[in-house]
Structure 1
């Protein structure tokens, strides 16, 4: 199954019809790629102004007219795949072209590691800023254990997270982020994400929203069309 998934990803890179909802599901994250059935009833119910994007990490230009949200979990294998294989394509097609911003919000549902790593990442964002957050974010997914059984194990310990941050930040910066985390200053930001995940009916990760509406397409073309439609809607407001 793993080989089939890799082949699909390689093939998709050369196609404008890149299908990024890959059928290669792992354990508890199986909901991530069948969310179409679980969440279709939510589509169209959420308006853009019902989401507060302030103080959220994002990729792209602040002036971009459309906001894409990925709800993810740092322990989710499908989120790792999405981060490494799909986000670069979204970045090239929509973010770098100025069409959209890509936000990351937490839906920490797998185990205590999910919560701990999400809160730590929020501390990195609060203390070190957007650029450092994304460096840490990418490193954390890159270091996700390949063993599916590790999903339920306590792997992302505080020491592990500190060591990971040291790979992309100075000792002084690390100290600032750790103090923030240990003082639980990032808890509210994490809870804000979790509240939105519940409000929007997120049932698995990764789940994508475009200007507050659930993305139910299957290809980068589908996402591009939804972004373009959302941009036209903003102009007509």
Structure 2
């Protein structure tokens, strides 16, 4: 019964992804890796999510294994509410300063210090980002512009349209990952890379 349910869920996710292809990647989405890569890994990602943190080193290994063929597109999924929103705003300010990846690494490394901290999350996220090299004055100006909030609102609409219910959720070239298994993600990416190499 569990196998049949998982198969049905994967089938539904595949149909939704196909119908909502335009909602998969947006021009505003952060990209890590080759912009023109043939294999696109889309991760619906919450910076406050422990599973996203645990998965992140494996995703980096995949990008390192196929540096010319793969790219990671991050879609924000603020399931942890205030803490997630604060982190996303700071990540977007960091991206405007060309410090997205270093800030992302710092926030994930220090996740225990800020995730689940409620009202204190924002202060702690700022401190971690500043220690990672973020210019806080510039970041606060970016913060005040509201551009991160507009981006986040679009990502929330898209995750609902695609039926994303948990993080991390992965799609490889528009196909959903059947389970949150890092080995399965690697195999799926490798198959796509080999398909394009033929």
Return the TM-score normalized by structure 1: 0.69
Say whether residues 1:71 and 2:37 are aligned partners: no
Aligned to 1:89: 61
Distance, in Å, in 2 between the alignment partners of 1:180 and 1:102 is 24
- 1:135 and 2:102 aligned: yes
SS of corresponding position for 1:157: helix
When the two structures are superposed, what TM-score results if normalisation uses the length of structure 2? 0.81
What CA deviation, in whole Å up to 9, does each residue of 1:165-204 have, x standing for no partner?
212225xx32111221134231111112212211111111
Match of 1:214 in 2: 176
| Matched residue, 2:89 | 119
Q: Which residue of 2 aligns with 1:157?
A: 121
- Compare the two structures and name the one with the higher helix fraction: 2
TM-fit CA distance, 1:45: 3.8
Gaps of 5+ in 2: 1-5
Measure how far apart 1:101 and its partner are.
Answer: 0.7
Distance 1:38 1:152 in 2: 33
Q: 2:13 aligns with which of 42, 46, 49?
A: 42
Partner Cα distance (1:139, 1:53) in 2: 25
Q: Do structure 1's residue 61 and structure 2's residue 31 form an aligned pair?
A: no
| Alignment size in residue pairs | 187
CA distance in 2, matches of 1:42, 1:200: 7
Structure 1 runs not aligned, ≥5 long = 1-35
CA RMSD of aligned residues (A): 2.8
